[in-house]
């Protein structure tokens, strides 16, 4: 090509197919305590066309098993990490291009560390009376089931899985434990999940300047409305669903709380509200995420929340969205108030207590009534927000939950 015309040459180079950008798929970081993830099984192969939202692979961390959804559309050109590889977070695990025959830019791999392949830890040896079996690392099992097997010293290969695709889940291990001899020990070690939780919470309390702001919310009308929906329209909403939607709406008004700190000084204001829910399991705490909670209608949000919490309790989480704000509700256990520890790098976490009957004055009159009052406490990072913003957020949250017409508008 004659490049005497400089402008034509520049345009040619810009639109040259080989110069199109190669997209990367990286090992996601679901929490500060996560340093690596395991590629359990690819659902696609090189050359396949994928759309945004398609499930690419199953990933496993110390906390759960994840279905990794593609955030891009295009063609899978190279699988950098293979099934069974343990890969550092933020490392490239696959390359994707817009066109099937587009030249691959291998330099995309240089921006992240190479995947580190780590040998899977062998399962503990079974008692002498149990005959040896084939290696167990290839058997499909949830993270919770894997940990429970170690605790109960049960041979994994003897358990029949009832989960998806024959995967062994925790209940299968528990059922097998009633039929198999157990080993009683005088002491035990912290599980990997408990170690991860301890590491994160210790980091949070020692590095984040926490402050706490609380408010009381009259849930009487909201609770009456919620229960009537179940009886008349068969729409099942939980108190948590109401708090998730009310908080998501309030966060759009006060985005400083829907933020995170990157490094020591960089503040990231997120354009979507991804609400994480602190869910307790037998093994520890997991946080399923409801992405774009600010855009979801309340009835749909309830379905999404129920499904994601159920999956989390089975040791499986879905999607690659990171929480931008977390809610912890202990009201169903009769807890009236508590303070939660901020889950870094988020700016805040909301602790919700039970709604209990209390005698309160009505308006400015001398009238009193028994109302259902719940206490909500916000723990926030003082580096990102001040008390005024936190108070304004709680005020917006309170107004949302005490206004039944607004709740109805979200259906």
Give the number of other Cβ atoms within 10 Å of residue 221's Cβ. 16
Strands of 31-170 (E only): list them: 36-42, 49-50, 55-60, 65-69, 74-79, 86-88, 92-97
Q: Which residues are catalytic?
A: 382, 386
Rounded CA-CA distance 48/55 in Å is: 12
Give the number of other Cβ atoms within 10 Å of residue 285's Cβ. 18
Strand order from edge to edge, sheet including 49-50: 23-26, 92-97, 74-79, 49-50
Rounded CA-CA distance 197/129 in Å is: 36
Rounded CA-CA distance 235/242 in Å is: 13
SS3 assignment for 252-285: HHCHHHCEEEECCCEEEECCCCCEEECEECCCCE
* Sequence-separated (6 or more) residues with CB below 8 Å from residue 397: 215, 217, 243, 246, 247, 250, 350, 376
Phi–psi pair at 404, nearest 5 degrees: -65, -35
**In the numeric block, which tokens belong to residue 384?**
């990102």
- Find residue 358's DSSP bridge partners: 371
How many Cα atoms sit within 13 Å of 169 on the Cβ side? 15
- Find residue 286's DSSP bridge partners: 279
Give the number of other Cβ atoms within 10 Å of residue 401's Cβ. 25
**Residues 247 and 275: beta-carbon distance below 8 Å:** yes
Rounded CA-CA distance 388/5 in Å is: 60
Q: Which H or E run includes 42?
A: strand 36-42
């Amino acid at each position: 090509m004659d490049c005497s015309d400089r402008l034509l040459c520049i345009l040619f180079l810009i639109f040259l197919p080989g110069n199109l950008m190669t997209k990367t798929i990286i090992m996601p970081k679901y929490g500060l305590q996560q340093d690596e993830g395991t590629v359990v099984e690819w659902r696609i192969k090189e050359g396949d066309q994928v759309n945004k939202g398609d499930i690419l692979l199953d990933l496993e961390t110390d906390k759960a098993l994840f279905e990794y959804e593609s955030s891009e559309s295009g063609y899978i050109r190279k699988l950098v990490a293979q099934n069974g590889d343990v890969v550092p977070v933020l490392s490239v695990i696959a390359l994707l291009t817009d066109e099937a025959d587009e030249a691959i830019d291998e330099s995309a791999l240089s921006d992240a560390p190479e995947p580190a392949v780590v040998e899977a830890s062998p399962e503990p040896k079974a008692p002498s009376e149990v005959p040896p079996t084939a290696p167990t690392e290839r058997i499909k099992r949830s993270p919770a089931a894997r940990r429970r097997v170690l605790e109960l010293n049960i041979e994994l290969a003897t358990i029949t899985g009832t989960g998806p695709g024959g995967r062994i889940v925790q209940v299968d291990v528990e059922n097998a434990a009633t039929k198999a001899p157990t080993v009683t020990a005088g002491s035990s070690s912290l599980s990997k999940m408990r170690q991860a939780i301890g590491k994160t919470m210790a980091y949070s309390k020692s590095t984040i300047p926490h402050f706490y702001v609380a408010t009381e919310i009259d849930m009487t009308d909201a609770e009456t409305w919620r229960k009537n929906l179940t009886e008349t329209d068969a729409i099942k909403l939980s108190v948590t669903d109401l708090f998730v939607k009310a908080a998501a709406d309030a966060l759009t008004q006060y985005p400083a709380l829907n933020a995170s700190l990157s490094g020591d000084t960089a503040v990231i204001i997120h354009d979507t509200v991804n609400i994480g829910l602190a869910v307790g399991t037998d093994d520890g705490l997991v946080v399923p995420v409801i992405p774009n909670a600010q855009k979801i209608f309340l009835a749909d949000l309830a379905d999404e929340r129920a499904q994601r919490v159920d999956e989390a309790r089975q040791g499986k989480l879905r999607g690659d969205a990171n929480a931008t704000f977390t809610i912890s509700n202990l009201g169903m256990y009769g807890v009236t108030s508590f303070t939660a520890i901020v889950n870094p790098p988020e700016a805040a976490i909301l602790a919700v207590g039970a709604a209990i009957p209390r005698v309160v004055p009505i308006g400015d009159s001398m009238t009193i009534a028994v109302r259902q009052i719940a206490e909500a406490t916000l723990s926030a990072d003082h580096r990102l927000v001040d008390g005024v913003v936190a108070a304004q957020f709680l005020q917006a949250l309170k107004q949302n939950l005490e206004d039944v017409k607004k709740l109805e508008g979200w259906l």
